[in-house]
Chains A and B, each alone.
Chain A
Amino acid sequence: MYSYVATLSLYGLDCKEIRAEADMSDGLPVFEVVGFLSGEVKEASKRVKTALKNSGIVLPPKRITVNLSPAYIKKCGTSYDLAIAVALMKAMGLIPKDKDRGMAVIGELSLSGEVKKVTGVLPMVIEAKNLGYSRCMIPMDNLKEASCVEDMELIPVSYLQDVIDHYHGAYVPCIDHENTGCICENDTVGVDLRDVNGQESCKRALEIAAAGMHNILLIGPPGSGKTMLAKRLPTILCEPDREEMLEITKIYSIAGLLTADTGLITERPFVSPHHTATPISLSGGGINPKPGECSLAHRGVLFLDELPEFSRQTLEILRQPMEDRIISISRQQGRCIFPADFLLCAAMNPCKCGYYPDRTKCNCNSEDVRRYVGKISGPLLDRIDLCGRAMRIDYKDLKQKGSNVDSKTVRMRVEKAVAIQRERFRGTRIRFNSEIGPGDIDRYCHLGTKQEKLMKSAYECFELTARGYHRIIKVARTIADLDGSEEIKEEHISEAIGFRTIDGRYGNV
């Protein structure tokens, strides 16, 4: 008896349609699974067999062959278990054969017959929809994330028995529709810019960064609140639209970071890898590639605290995603591309001891300071548009209450600036001012004669580079947008120059 069930495989972000075929024929009793399997899929035969037995179904002593087709695709992961079990039950004639037209089956089995949650359900369900499937059978714990897909009938199951009941038309899943919508292990929930006293210039720099999606570097002595400020950056970024939320949720689904309570992620992520992170942990990788921190920060903030402490190799990984907004991982099996469009927020001390240029505490000479900053590669610094300076805060500031601007107000200003940008870049691939290429600068950032003159004197006075020059103009464009001004005025340029990043000028008192 032959039968098959549709399921999906996942490689990186790419899903492929897979058929789980089962055949039972006479011969010596053998149960074998074929079709270019990785270790965990090979084990599926044992899990499925025992799960079936514990659900009251004993496999007949026949020659049983299961094939995951097409056979040229390497099968990884545990999401094939349920499909194999269903195909077997169909082949045994336990469930009707024609009841699953247009249905894809995804899920892992435990020995008890319980259906367990798997990673990557959301991209699989989305792909199933694109392939023309109208129904998906998924583990109950994956229901929330799969619910993000509209126009798809979902059959969440908890036990193998539920599957059998479903085929006989006797299964009514109990569904809890509450959606928490936050990312697990996220300590940025409930924070507000209002919590930060003082640090006006940093707050302003963050606002500009958020409005134009400019990468930002925060410099300040230890304990001045750089991390605190950075954690509040997602709260002032513009709200993600539905498409962005789906992109974020997809990545978290593949990474297995969604809990059973998490549905669509509605907040922008804030990812803060420790400075001992390896290059691969940042970029993502593995035989079956998993997204790294870069991709987990997609459409959100990647925060690198203590930037000079990161190994050079790790930081160099960031160059491709910062340029192309994707990260491509090439492995023997093939190449997969993860999106990595994040706002980089880095924080560092100004020098080894951390207090430069406060001469009452810092004894570092210019050379020490330059050496410390020199640990960060030039090309990386080149891609950072803004630099905020956190200061040691006074007792008075520390105790002051109530006068701080809150995230909501700032976010409203940011949203306004974003709306202006959306209007400006309509019909192009650009979304934010930070993405304007050198060729488009003149088109989008026109400078008047007075402004040209100011830029010229600034160019000479601050010994700017060509790239630095463009960065300043882009940031000035964002400041003008925040101001609601179509024209880039002199004060916008001046402010952009003030917030420009460190370069050769660092370390000269």
Chain B
Amino acid sequence: MFETRYYTRFDKEYPDKLRFIRDPPAGIYVRGDLPDPDKKTVAIIGARACSQYGRNMAEYFARQLAMNGVQIVSGMARGIDGVAQKAALSEGGRSFGVLGAGADVVYPKENRDIYEMIQGHGGLITELPDGTAPLPMHFASRNRIISALCDVLLVIEARVRSGTAITVSYALDQGRDIFAVPARLTDPLSAGCIKMISEGAGIAASPNDILKSLGLMQEEKVKGSDGSKINLKNLTRDERAVFACLDLYPVSIDEIVRMSRLSIDDAMASVMSLCIKGIAKECSSCNYIRSR
């Protein structure tokens, strides 16, 4: 079993992202690992009483992000938080739970499986000593740790007045990017998301939107001409650079040259080999799209 470790603000293990916010915790209790500062981190949060749609979205986004090596931070609560973390872990990704109780307290009880799994594939973080009970007053302040640890905050289903809204306002203070998953306008469970979007949050129409904002490559794997999956890592550097320029609407070779900064002959050669591999398609001479 894992031991609880304690780091003060002045220890070098203490995450920098946390150290430099307005009101950093004096110290943190950790079980398992801390998030890898060299990897991108996304916090997925949302309503505890979520709909099936929210559940599906949380699972989809978490899986896709985890597949691309993104660490998922959340509050390990019921609903969206738990679903997202579970999905990330089952995809083989890493996840971190920020708790509103002591690190040895499993709360809520139904998330015991996550609690067990997370300690080998991520970690538990809290500012409260072991044995502290999950009292309501603790949750609002632990939210500032969630928002501090992430690069992008993704909101899936939130009411206008909710714990999620508190996390979002912390994230705004701390300068984190906020994305919200859109849903039906009349759905009170998503009214918070819609409001955030209208106030300038990014629309998370697909996991790619988040990945792009994180500056990560698009999917590592794409479908080839014969239906087999092609790992983008197996492409040459030029081919990857060209692939990053392609989109679902035609992009001309000149635009590819400008975006990829390759020479025209290299760009042309790369885009052709992508066409032959079936990853790209020529829609009219010298115009290319990604093949679906």
Contact = CB atoms under 8 A, between A and B. Distances in A.
B271 A498 contact: yes
A356 interface: yes
Contact of A389 (B253, B275, B276): B253
Interface in B240-291: 249-250, 252-255, 257, 264-266, 268-273, 275-276, 278, 282-287, 289
Contacts of A280: none
Interface of A: 198-201, 203-204, 219, 350, 356-357, 359, 369, 387-389, 391, 454, 457-458, 461-462, 479, 490-492, 494-495, 497-502, 505-509
Given A502-B285, A506-B284, A506-B285, A359 B249 contact: yes
A24 B116 CA distance: 129
A198 B285 contact: no
A391 B264 contact: no
B225 interface: yes
Interface residues of B, number: 27
Nearest to A204: B264
B264 A201 contact: yes
Nearest to B281: A508
B261 to A, nearest CB: 11
A479 B266 CA distance: 12
A357 B276 contact: no
A357 B287 CA distance: 8
Contacts of A454: 273, 276
A200 to B, nearest CB: 5
Nearest to B250: A357
21 contacts: A198-B254, A356-B284, A357-B250, A357-B283, A357-B284, A389-B253, A389-B286, A454-B273, A457-B276, A461-B225, A461-B276, A462-B275, A490-B273, A491-B266, A494-B273, A495-B265, A498-B269, A499-B268, A505-B282, A505-B285, A509-B283
B276 A491 contact: no
Q: Which of B254, B264, B268 has the most CB of A within 10 A?
A: B254
Q: Which of B250, B273, B289 has the most CB of A within 10 A?
A: B273
Contact of B269 (A495, A507, A509): A495
A491 B225 contact: no
B282 A389 contact: no
Contact of A219 (B266, B285, B289): B285
B254 A201 contact: yes
A71 to B, nearest CB: 59
Given A200-B257, A491-B265, A389 B272 contact: no
A201 B272 contact: no
A507 B284 CA distance: 6
A425 to B, nearest CB: 24
A388 B284 contact: no
A497 B285 CA distance: 10
B278 A461 contact: yes
Interface in B76-120: none
B59 to A, nearest CB: 34
A491 B271 CA distance: 10
Contact of A204 (B225, B265, B289): B265
Q: Which of B225, B283, B286 has the most CB of A within 10 A?
A: B286
Contacts of A458: 272, 276
Interface in B50-81: none
A32 B255 CA distance: 74
Given A201-B254, A461-B225, 20 more contacts: A199-B254, A200-B264, A204-B268, A350-B284, A389-B253, A389-B286, A391-B252, A454-B276, A479-B265, A491-B265, A492-B269, A494-B268, A494-B270, A495-B265, A498-B269, A498-B272, A499-B286, A506-B284, A507-B284, A509-B250
Nearest to B256: A201
B225 A498 contact: no
A428 B117 CA distance: 77
A356 B284 CA distance: 9
Contacts of B286: 201, 387-389, 498-499
Contacts of B283: 357, 508-509
Contacts of B285: 219, 387, 389, 500-502, 505-506
A508 B283 CA distance: 6
Contacts of B284: 350, 356-357, 369, 502, 505-509
A484 to B, nearest CB: 13
Contacts of A492: 269
B272 to A, nearest CB: 4
Nearest to B249: A359
Contacts of B278: 461
B275 A461 contact: yes
A385 B275 CA distance: 20
A198 B258 CA distance: 9
Closest A-B pairs by Cβ, 9 of them: A389-B286, A494-B272, A491-B269, A494-B269, A498-B268, A204-B264, A495-B268, A201-B253, A357-B250
B239 to A, nearest CB: 11
Contacts of A204: 264-265, 268
A200 B250 CA distance: 17
B254 A200 contact: yes
A356 B250 CA distance: 10
Nearest to A390: B254
Nearest to A202: B254
Q: Which of A369, A457, A506 has the most CB of B within 10 A?
A: A457
Nearest to A397: B258
Contacts of B225: 461
Contacts of B275: 461-462, 497
Q: Which of B257, B269, B270, B271 has the most CB of A within 10 A?
A: B269
Contact of A495 (B252, B254, B272, B276): B272
A509 B225 CA distance: 17
A82 B182 CA distance: 93
A505 B287 CA distance: 12
A279 to B, nearest CB: 28
Contacts of A369: 284
A389 B289 CA distance: 15
B253 to A, nearest CB: 4
Nearest to A497: B272
A500 B286 CA distance: 9
B255 A391 contact: yes
Interface in B219-255: 225, 249-250, 252-255
Q: Which of B250, B266, B272 has the most CB of A within 10 A?
A: B272
Nearest to A456: B276
A461 B270 CA distance: 15
Nearest to A503: B285
A468 B275 CA distance: 17
B229 to A, nearest CB: 18
A200 B254 CA distance: 6
Q: Which of B266, B268, B284 has the most CB of A within 10 A?
A: B284
B238 to A, nearest CB: 9
Nearest to A351: B284
A509 B292 CA distance: 12
